[in-house]
Every structure is written in structure tokens, then in C-alpha cells.
């Protein structure tokens, strides 16, 4: 028989209930899972199969979009769920795991297997070794491993060595769910399927680039994880730098997994190494304090009362290559900001000479292109136009494409896209081992610097604000300000809580 069996480690956790199960359900409804499949949850929490199904069903009622909920289909979907209570850190349970997988696959040599590691990162190294000990790494087995992949450069290299000793690279899927977002992929189409922007996409026409991924939530129930992780490892080393790569990469001659990932690695390898001045002046870290009715980070559950973990980071980085030399990329991420938004803003150079009057004294000398990944996914171009009437007064206007015009973001959730790609064996949107290491190579000095300089500033910012003022000062050096995402699109009041 040899059915497809997907095993989720960390099946009682936050990611599983909020993202993985809704994604798998949507694939199931769309008939995009293999015809014969079973899903096995693994964790230390004790559930009988029936209890686990009831638990996941009730979580799906919260996390599956209401218009996609269908009792009959949800019942049928949870009927494919099973659960095995073992501690995934201990090899002793893996004999049992193998037997359970054999039973679910209907074959004593199960072969069509997918393992998803949705556990704390401390388990990413041991689980593959234990899988190998019971030969579950063989045949068509694939493994998806969550981020952060490694805690620093050394641990990422070590993890890569472990994975290489258990799996071939084509079996390893290091997931970064930002790459599964429709609008992140659309950035590639926008750049490389259109002739008009690419000739301008370089240091001759672009002044600077901003990448913002901020959230209006705190750390919720993830204190234990977050306090040992922080924003640099949680968001910057993976998600933000991927967005930089999509913005900065060269077009591959042929679009396939290896060519695309080669270009990503080239961007990482071109990141200008950080100097002492950069570490001191071009990186701003912050931690949210109480603000509005929100508690401060140090008051959150499972957070050390004297924690110095950053919940905000802004930094300036450069790319030393022919296309980008001298163009600063400003990136920032933070928890408990005024809104949740992910966007890339490309600032073109100013016109060399201003000859018109400006409406309201505000001269729109430079064009801006805003690529909004979420929410209100879309693309906005800002440019100057003459105000109707006498004289020549110019005002900045927007040309606006929103996915709403197409009935919403097509293709559904990022996790669904990526899980399906993995099932189909397409690694394009997954991070390759060399990319992980190249990225860590760039960011590792920051971690070392913070470690060696405990006195390095960590600025407080009240929850619900845009982060430390020092990050504004960093932009002022370039004569710029951070773009306020709440003012970028026309229908802003839908999501900005200012």
C-alpha cells in the first residue's frame, strides 16, 4: 500500500494549531494532498487519537477562515489525524514511532514520508539522528525544518553537518514561510516579467531601500522560546534578509530551484561586512515597555525580569556589488508596533532640478515604489502630477494596484503553498544549506558584539509606538525618515491603530 504519511513533531504546539493544520485542511479541501494520506502528530503531551482530533477540530474553528469551514470536510479531515505520545528528544521512543508509521502507511517499508519539525529549535539536531536510527530517513523521506536554523553561525554549520549525515540535500526543506507568501513571489514576477522597472533597478536610479516587517502583537504565549531567541534570530536572519535578497538578486537565466537559490546566495555573500562603526551606529535594538493597555516585555509570561532580549531591531546594510554599491538598505522589525505590516519601499533618486511649485510646500521630487506584502497586499507607485488649474503646481499622487481588485490574494496561505511544494519535491522556495550559512556569516558578528558588550544600548520603546527614536536618527544620516506604513495606501484606517 505505502500511503503518504506526514509526521509532525511539536504537534501540540502553537505553529501546528495556528498554521500547519489550517494549511493541511486547505490542501485537503482543494484535493491537493496525496489521495492516500495520514497525518501523525508527535509530542510529549498525552492524547488518544480521538482527543487529538477533537482538540485540532476546535482549534480549526478558530484558525480556519470562517468561509472555508465546512463541518463535513473538517470531520473527514480530522479523521486522517493520529497521535503518538513520545518525547522526541529521546531515541527510546523511535521504535514505537516506526511501528506506528508502518501501520499508517500500510507497509512494513514505509517510503513516502514527510517529517515536519515544529518543535523548539533545540530539538532540530537530535530528531534527524533518531529518525536515522530507525531507518526513517530512507527512500523518498523528506524533512521540513522550521526556522531559526541554528542559533549562530557555528551551530548552523553543525546542524547542516548533522542533516547532511542523515539526508541528501534534496530531502531537506528549510522553511521560511515569508517565501511562501504570494506577494513575496510576486516581487520576482514584478521585477523580471516587466521591462520597465529593471533598467532602473540599480545604484544609478535607486537612492535607498526600506524593508519593514512589524507586528502589533507581543510575544503571546511564546515567552520561553522568544526570550532565548530575540528579533535578530526570529525575523532578521531569515525573513527580512530573504526579502532583501528578492529585492536585490540578479535574474537567473532559467528559473529553477538551483538557479534561483544560487542568486540568493550571491546576494548574501555580497553583504558588506559590518564594521565596528556599523555595529555601534547602524544597528538599533529595542525592547517594548508598557504602553497603552499593553504590558511591557519584561512583564510577559516566561520572560526574565531583567531580560535584554531585543523585540525590535533596525539596521542599515549594504551590498557590495556592481548593481548596489553605495545604496543603503534599511531594515526593521519589531513586536508591539502600532500596526502589522510587511512592505518594501524602493526610493528612487530625486529629480536633478525642481522647477515647479509644490502643493502644500511638499515637493515630491523622488518617486517611491511600495511593495506591500501584508496586509492589503499590493503595489503602489508614488509620483508627482500637476494640480488641475492655472499655474504649475505639483502634488504627489499614487498609482495603486491591490489584490483586492482581483478578489483577494490568490493561492491561500504561505504554509499550504510550501507544504505542497515539498510534497511535489520542489525546493525553490526553501533555504539551501549554503544560504543559511552565508546569512549567519553576515549576522553572527552582531550576536558576538552584543555578547561581548553587554553595555551596548538596548532602548526601551512603549508598546504601540514605532520603536526607539535612535532608529529615526540612523535614517536621518541619509537625509531620510522611515516611511510610515499607515500613510502609504489609501484605505489605511482599516488596519492602522494610531
Ligand X SMILES: O=C1O[C@H](COP(=O)(O)O)[C@@H](O)[C@H](O)[C@H]1O
Q: Is residue 135 flagged as an active site residue? A: no
Least distance CB 428 / ligand X (angstroms): 19
The kind and range of the H/E element at 447 are helix 433-452
Cell numbers standing for residue 304 = 526574565
Residue in 85, 214, 145, 82 with CA at minimum distance from that of residue 427: 145
Per CB under 6 A, 230 contacts ligand NDP: no
Which of 23, 101, 118, 244 touches ligand NDP (CB under 6 A)? 118
Tally of CB atoms within 10 A around 242: 22
Please tell me whether residue 120 binds ligand X under the rule CB under 6 A: no
Residue 406 DSSP label: G
| Residue 383 to residue 372: CA distance in whole angstroms | 17
The answer to whether 215 contacts ligand X (rule: CB under 6 A) is: yes
Kindly state the smallest distance separating residue 45's Cβ from ligand NDP, in Å: 3
Query: Measured from the CB of residue 44, what is the shortest distance to ligand NDP in angstroms?
Result: 3
Report d(CA 298, CA 296) in Å as an integer. Answer: 6
Binding ligand NDP (rule: CB under 6 A), the pick from 89, 129, 359, 496 is: 89
**368 φ, ψ to 5°?**
-130, 135
Q: By C-beta, is 22 or 464 nearer to ligand NDP?
A: 22
Distance CA 404, CA 376 (A): 7
Cα of first residue to Cα of last residue in the chain, in angstroms, is 57
Among 6, 8, 15, 271, binds ligand NDP (CB under 6 A): 15
Q: What is the DSSP string of 373-384?
A: EESS-EEEEEEE
List the catalytic residue out of 239, 347, 453, 476: 239
* DSSP code of residue 463: T
d(CA 132, CA 115): 12
Q: Which residue's CB is nearer to ligand X, number 212 or number 270?
A: 212
Q: Is 32 annotated as a binding residue?
A: no
Residue 146 contact partner, candidates ligand X, ligand NDP, none, CB within 5 to 8 A by sort of partner? ligand NDP
Q: Within 135-194, which residues bind ligand NDP (CB under 6 A)?
A: 146-147
Instruction: Give the residue carrying C-alpha cell 508627482.
Output: 384
Among 227, 234, 420, 421, binds ligand X (CB under 6 A): 234
16 is in an annotated binding site: yes
Q: Which one, 307 or 367, has the nearer CB to ligand X?
A: 307
Phi, psi of 173 (to 5 degrees): -120, 95
Among 381, 379, 383, smallest CA distance to 366 is for 383
Residues making up the annotated binding site for NADP(+) are 10-17, 44, 147
Residues making up the annotated binding site are 10-17, 44, 147, 177, 181, 215, 234, 335, 340
Residues that bind ligand X (CB under 6 A): 177, 215, 234, 342
Q: Which residues are catalytic?
A: 239
Residues that bind ligand NDP (CB under 6 A): 10, 12-15, 18, 43-45, 87-89, 118-121, 123, 146-147, 222, 225
Residues making up the annotated binding site for substrate are 177, 181, 215, 234, 335, 340
Amino acid at each position: 500500500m505505502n500511503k503518504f504519511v506526514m509526521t509532525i513533531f511539536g504537534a501540540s504546539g502553537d505553529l501546528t494549531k495556528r498554521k500547519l493544520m489550517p494549511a493541511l485542511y486547505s490542501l485537503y479541501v482543494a484535493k491537493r494532498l496525496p489521495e492516500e494520506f495520514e497525518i501523525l502528530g508527535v509530542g510529549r503531551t498525552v492524547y488518544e487519537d480521538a482527543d487529538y482530533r477533537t482538540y485540532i477540530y476546535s482549534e480549526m474553528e478558530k484558525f480556519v477562515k470562517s468561509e472555508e469551514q465546512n463541518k463535513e470536510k473538517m470531520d473527514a479531515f480530522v479523521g486522517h489525524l493520529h497521535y503518538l505520545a513520545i518525547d522526541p528528544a529521546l531515541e527510546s521512543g523511535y521504535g514505537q514511532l516506526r511501528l506506528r508509521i508502518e501501520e499508517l502507511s500500510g507497509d512494513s517499508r514505509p517510503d513516502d514520508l514527510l517529517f515536519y519539525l515544529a518543535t523548539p529549535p533545540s530539538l532540530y539536531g537530535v530528531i534527524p539522528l533518531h529518525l536515522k536510527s530507525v531507518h526513517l530517513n530512507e527512500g523518498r523521506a523528506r524533512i521540513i525544518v522550521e526556522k531559526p536554523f541554528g542559533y549562530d553561525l557555528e551551530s548552523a554549520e553543525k546542524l547542516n553537518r548533522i542533516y547532511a549525515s542523515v539526508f541528501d540535500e534534496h530531502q531537506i526543506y528549510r522553511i521560511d514561510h515569508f517565501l511562501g507568501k504570494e506577494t513575496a513571489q510576486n516581487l520576482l514576477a514584478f521585477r523580471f516579467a516587466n521591462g520597465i522597472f529593471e533598467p532602473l533597478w540599480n545604484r544609478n536610479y535607486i537612492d535607498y531601500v526600506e524593508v519593514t516587517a512589524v507586528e502589533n502583537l507581543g510575544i503571546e504565549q511564546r515567552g520561553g522560546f522568544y526570550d532565548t531567541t530575540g528579533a535578530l534570530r526570529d525575523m532578521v536572519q531569515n525573513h527580512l534578509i530573504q526579502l532583501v535578497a528578492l529585492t536585490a538578486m540578479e535574474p537567473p537565466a532559467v528559473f529553477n530551484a538551483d538557479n534561483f537559490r544560487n542568486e540568493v546566495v550571491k546576494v548574501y555573500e555580497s553583504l558588506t561586512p559590518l564594521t565596528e562603526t556599523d555595529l555601534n551606529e547602524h544597528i538599533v535594538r529595542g525592547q517594548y515597555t508598557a504602553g497603552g493597555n499593553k504590558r511591557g516585555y519584561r512583564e510577559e509570561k516566561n520572560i526574565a525580569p531583567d531580560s535584554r532580549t531585543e523585540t525590535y531591531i533596525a539596521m542599515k546594510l549594504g551590498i557590495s556589488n556592481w548593481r548596489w554599491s553605495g545604496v543603503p538598505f534599511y531594515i526593521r522589525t519589531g513586536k508591539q508596533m502600532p500596526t502589522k505590516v510587511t512592505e518594501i519601499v524602493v526610493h528612487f533618486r530625486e529629480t536633478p532640478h525642481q522647477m515647479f511649485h509644490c502643493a502644500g510646500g511638499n515637493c515630491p521630487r523622488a518617486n517611491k515604489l511600495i511593495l506591500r506584502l501584508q496586509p492589503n497586499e499590493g503595489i503602489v507607485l508614488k509620483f508627482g502630477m500637476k494640480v488641475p488649474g492655472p499655474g504649475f503646481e505639483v502634488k504627489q499622487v499614487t498609482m495603486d494596484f491591490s489584490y483586492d481588485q482581483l478578489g483577494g490574494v490568490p493561492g491561500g496561505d504561505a504554509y499550504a503553498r510550501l507544504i505542497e511544494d515539498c510534497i511535489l519535491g520542489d525546493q525553490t522556495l526553501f533555504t539551501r544549506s549554503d544560504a543559511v550559512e552565508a546569512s549567519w556569516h553576515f549576522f553572527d558578528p552582531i550576536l558576538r558584539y552584543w555578547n561581548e558588550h553587554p553595555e551596548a544600548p538596548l532602548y526601551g520603546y512603549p508598546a504601540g509606538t514605532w520603536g526607539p527614536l535612535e532608529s529615526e536618527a540612523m535614517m536621518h544620516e541619509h537625509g531620510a525618515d522611515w516611511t510610515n506604513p499607515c500613510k502609504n495606501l489609501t484605505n489605511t484606517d482599516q488596519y492602522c491603530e494610531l
